[in-house]
């Protein structure tokens, strides 16, 4: 059964990676993989030497309720992440429903390709630190689709939105699912992750932008000149309502780290508090409007638009990783890495490269299971570099991150085109950031 769990996990990952050719939603595969791993774990209880190895020669028999207790503990940690994501997604969708992000889009007035590359990239970089990389990619790609008519420029900008969103999410405790996981799990603290990884993340976007500017300047614009179009107001909202929701949404998400520091409650409690507050504000704001005018502006309507499949995907994949942790496989892997390599830079660089092929969420979840806080204490270099590598390594391939998958769906970017035109930019930025982190920690 020990081998069967590994095979089930690998097969599940294969089906997730080939989601588009197989036309099977990755959420369904992830849920099936997660449950199957736990079923195999239950039926493998009798294989004690494989599943629960200790330092002694004779394996220790587990508690009869061991599986139930382990599953309950894992579900508690998973629920913290999922409720945080759900609350944050509702807040962002609510701001977008009120056209709150026009505060940003209405201030972009340029038709120059290089200028637009820099503007869009740095907006995505800082916006993803406040929101998250997937949400930023969705918003920026939807905006780009209205602004740019040439497919080549549209895909190039979309590729840099992916690089920028992942880089921006890596240095913020709320900017990426993986940094959220590390922050909630206690591996990193909010101020320290910002201080330690900002320069590395900054470099991972700056260097690709410099290279892109050089090659774009050499190319002839010709028929690739950027064209802008007007934005249409999706709902009947006033400029005051747009600005109010934008400010409330940003302040709500920014206040979550402060809430955790002051109250010592989990971050999802802060998000739920923020969501409840904004919910009441919008209810009061639209209470005198006609039903058909305010229907699309209410939280009850927004909840129907939330990408629940992503939530279920995270649930399934984290359950699968939890099964591997409970079975002891992750401890064996951690020991093998330490015995064969033992260098945190090599290990994290490898994890980041793997995150381009495999989703970074399970990789970070596996790392958290492999190395506990007694091995690497809070705010250790290992956790900081893991946050950077797992966050930015996914940019190397378009399927390697939630931001990339979102952009691929909105802009219909071809996988091979991204591999030829964008991947090498992301790879240069990835290694540049690692170099900056090394210099910062060992020389500065």
- Whether residue 392 contacts residue 361, with contact meaning beta carbons closer than 8 Å, is answered with no
Q: Which residue has the higher pLDDT, 51 or 188?
A: 188
Whole-angstrom Cα distance, residue 217 to residue 200? 26
The answer to whether the beta carbons of residues 39 and 323 sit under 8 Å apart is no
| 28-49 tens-digit pLDDT | 988 998 899 888 888 776 554 4
* CA neighbor of 434 nearest in space, from 348, 354, 357: 348
Q: What tokens does 392 get?
A: 């930015």
User: In the block, which residue shows the tokens 């509702």?
Assistant: 90
* Average confidence score pLDDT of the chain: 80
Question: Percent of the chain scored above 90 by pLDDT?
Answer: 15
CB contact at 8 A, 29 and 314 = no
CA distances from 95 to 17, 139, 259, 434 (A): 32, 11, 21, 35
Residue 54, pLDDT above cutoff 90: no
Name the burial class of residue 16, with classes exposed (0-12), middle (13-18) and buried (19+) by CB atoms within 10 angstroms of its CB.
buried
Q: Report whether 81 contacts 184 (CB < 8 A).
A: yes
12 and 320 Cβ atoms separated by less than 8 Å: yes
pLDDT of residue 136: 81
Task: Supply 47's token pair.
Answer: 């294989």
- Reported as a pLDDT band with limits 50, 70 and 90, residue 204 is very high
- In this structure, what DSSP letter does residue 232 have? P
Angle at 343 between CA 49 and CA 8, to 5 degrees: 40
348: burial class by Cβ within 10 Å (0-12, 13-18, 19+)? Answer: buried
| Neighbour tally for 312: CB within 10 Å | 18
pLDDT of residue 160: 93
Are the C-beta atoms of 170 and 429 separated by less than 8 Å? no
pLDDT of res. 301: 83
Condensed to tens digits (0 to 9), the pLDDT of residues 349-381 reads 888 887 787 666 767 777 777 777 888 888 888
Q: What is the CA radius of gyration of the chain?
A: 22
**pLDDT top residue among 172 and 294:** 172
> Which has more confidence, 396 or 293?
396
Q: What is the pLDDT of residues 411-444, one digit of tens each?
A: 878 777 888 889 999 999 999 999 999 998 888 6
3-state secondary structure of 12: helix
What pLDDT sits at residue 234?
A: 52
Separation of alpha carbons 430 and 332, rounded Å: 28
Domains in the chain: boundaries = 2-442
First to last CA, the chain: 50
Report the length, in residues, of the chain.
Answer: 444
Smallest CA-to-CA distance from 183 within 267, 86, 275, 78 is with: 267
Reduced to 3 states (helix: H, G, I; strand: E, B; else coil), residue 389 is helix
- List for the chain the helix, strand, coil content (%; round to 5): 75, 0, 25
Q: pLDDT grade, residue 59 (50/70/90)?
A: very low
pTM of the model: 0.70
| pLDDT of the residue at 109 | 66
**Cα–Cα distance, 403 to 140 (Å, whole number):** 10
User: Can you tell me the distance from the alpha carbon of 27 to that of 85, in angstroms, rounded to the nearest whole number?
Assistant: 16
Span 386-408, mean pLDDT? 83
Question: What is the distance between the alpha carbons of residues 81 and 185, in angstroms, rounded to a whole number?
Answer: 10
What is d(CA 19, CA 12) in angstroms, rounded to the nearest whole number? 11
Percentage above 70 pLDDT, the chain:
86
pLDDT per position as a tens digit, 381-393 = 889 999 999 889 9
- Whether the predicted pLDDT of 198 surpasses 90: yes
- Per-residue pLDDT for 26 more than 90? no
Structure tokens at 220: 């002839």
Q: Mean pLDDT throughout 264-285?
A: 89
pLDDT higher than threshold 90 for residue 162? yes
Answer whether 360's CB lies under 8 Å from 178's CB.
yes
Task: Evaluate whether 84 touches 94 at the Cβ level (below 8 Å).
Answer: no
Specify the higher pLDDT residue, 244 or 216. 244
CB 320, CB 361: distance < 8 Å = no
pLDDT computed for residue 231 by the predictor: 46
Residue 251 or 425, more confident? 425
């Amino acid at each position: 059964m020990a081998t069967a769990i590994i095979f089930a996990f690998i097969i599940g990952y294969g089906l997730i990676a080939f989601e588009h050719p197989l036309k099977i939603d990755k959420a369904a595969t992830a849920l099936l993989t997660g449950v199957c791993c736990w079923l195999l774990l239950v039926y493998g209880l009798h294989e004690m030497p494989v599943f629960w190895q200790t330092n002694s020669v004779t394996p220790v028999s587990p508690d009869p309720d061991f599986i139930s207790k382990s599953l309950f503990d894992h579900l508690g940690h998973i629920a913290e992440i999922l409720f945080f994501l759900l609350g944050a997604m509702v807040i962002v969708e609510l701001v977008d429903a009120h056209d709150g992000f026009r505060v940003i889009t209405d201030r972009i007035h340029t038709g120059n390709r290089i200028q637009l590359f820099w503007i869009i990239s740095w907006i995505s970089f800082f916006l993803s630190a406040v929101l998250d990389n997937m949400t930023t990619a969705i918003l920026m790609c939807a905006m780009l689709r209205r602004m740019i008519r040439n497919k080549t420029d549209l895909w190039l900008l979309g590729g840099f939105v992916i690089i920028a969103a992942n880089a921006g999410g890596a240095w913020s405790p709320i900017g990426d699912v993986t940094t959220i996981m590390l922050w909630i799990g206690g591996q990193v603290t909010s101020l320290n992750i910002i201080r330690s990884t900002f320069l590395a993340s900054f470099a991972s976007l700056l260097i690709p932008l410099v290279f892109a500017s050089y090659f774009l300047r050499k190319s002839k614009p010709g028929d690739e000149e950027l064209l802008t179009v007007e934005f249409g107001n999706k709902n009947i909202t006033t400029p005051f309502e747009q600005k109010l929701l934008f400010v409330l949404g940003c302040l709500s998400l920014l206040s979550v780290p402060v809430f955790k520091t002051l109250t010592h409650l989990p971050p999802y409690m802060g998000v739920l508090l923020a969501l409840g507050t904004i919910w009441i504000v919008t209810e009061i704001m639209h209470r005198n409007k006609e039903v058909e005018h305010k229907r699309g502006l209410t939280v009850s309507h927004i909840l129907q638009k939330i990408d629940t499949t992503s939530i279920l995907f995270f649930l399934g994949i984290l359950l699968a990783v939890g099964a591997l942790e409970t079975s002891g496989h992750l401890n064996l892997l951690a020991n093998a890495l330490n015995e064969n390599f033992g260098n945190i830079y090599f290990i994290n660089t490898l994890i980041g490269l793997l995150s381009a092929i495999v989703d970074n969420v399970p990789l970070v979840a596996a790392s958290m299971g492999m190395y506990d806080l007694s091995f690497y204490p809070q705010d250790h270099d290992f956790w900081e570099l893991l946050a950077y590598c797992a966050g930015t390594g996914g940019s190397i391939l378009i399927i390697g991150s939630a931001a990339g998958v979102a952009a691929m769906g909105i802009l219909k970017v071809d996988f091979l085109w991204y591999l030829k035109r964008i991947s090498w930019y992301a790879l240069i930025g990835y290694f540049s950031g690692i170099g900056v982190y090394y210099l910062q920690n060992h020389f500065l």
